[in-house]
Homo-oligomer: A and B are copies of this chain.
Amino acid sequence: MGKRGLLIVVSAPSGCGKGTILEQVMKKQEFYYSISATTRKPRPGEKDKVNYFFLTKEKFEELINSGQMLEHAEFVGNYYGTPAAPVEEHLAAGTDVILEIEVQGAMQVKKKCPEAVLVFILPPSVDTLRHRLNKRSTESEEVIEERIAKAHDEIARAVDYDYVIVNDDLDEAINDFMTVLAAEKMSVKRSGNVINEVLEK
């Protein structure tokens, strides 16, 4: 083997079923699901290195400044980001890595790791998304409309991803996800070794 794992970045607006898809996908194959780092305080029940890497502001900034954060953002006074080291370790060991992050973070990863595969999960339509959010939500219509507006902006950024998967039927979407990974593993940019092996045998 000796083949690097795939770095897979997955984004989707809230309500697109991304969590369910990834949960099922992770039953089909071994992945390292990347754990984010944050400077916010752990909430009751949250564990370090399980829910987040809980870091001090100083430590987090040190990692940013030494290029050891694949992506990061500040949100209401706290940092959130993806530490590069565990991701790199798993990729080097041949394990595929999933980063479930937002559009801005995805664009940072794309810049730092051009070999990353960026997948955007789409709802069948914005109307379907509105319907799903209405059904599950206890929130006001105003909040839902805010989310829809945010989803709209995010979906427009899907053009900067590599693949779009429409989550109309859950099983199909899971299958589509696995198809993308399988095809990427046959792509020549990841198969230089294969060609050499064939030639040398």
Chain A interface (Cβ < 8 Å from any Cβ of B): 120, 122-128, 152, 155-156, 158-166, 176, 179-180, 182-184, 186-188, 191-192, 194-195, 197-199, 201
Q: Which residues from B are CB-within-8-Å of A192? A: 159
Q: Chain B nearest CB: distance from A157 CB in Å?
A: 9
Q: Chain B nearest CB: distance from A32 CB in Å?
A: 22
Copies of this protein in the complex: 2
Q: Which residues from B are CB-within-8-Å of A128? A: 201
30 pairs of residues in contact across A and B, judged by CB atoms under 8 Å: A120-B188, A122-B195, A124-B201, A125-B197, A125-B198, A126-B201, A128-B201, A155-B198, A155-B199, A156-B195, A156-B199, A158-B188, A158-B195, A159-B192, A160-B188, A161-B188, A162-B187, A162-B188, A163-B183, A163-B186, A163-B188, A164-B188, A164-B191, A165-B186, A166-B194, A166-B198, A176-B182, A179-B179, A180-B186, A183-B183
A156 CA / B127 CA spacing, docked (Å):
50
Q: Chain B nearest CB: distance from A66 CB in Å?
A: 33
Q: Is the CB of A198 within 8 A of B122?
A: yes
20 other A-B residue contacts (CB within 8 Å) besides A160-B188, A163-B183, A163-B186: A120-B188, A123-B198, A124-B198, A125-B201, A126-B198, A126-B199, A152-B199, A155-B195, A156-B195, A158-B195, A162-B187, A164-B191, A164-B194, A164-B195, A165-B186, A166-B194, A179-B183, A179-B186, A182-B183, A183-B183
Main secondary structure of the interface of A (DSSP, over half): helix
A124 CA / B198 CA spacing, docked (Å):
6
Q: Which residues from B are CB-within-8-Å of A124? A: 198, 201
Q: Which residues from B are CB-within-8-Å of A199? A: 126, 152, 155-156
Q: Chain B nearest CB: distance from A170 CB in Å?
A: 16
Of all chain B residues, the one with the shortest Cβ separation from A184 is B183
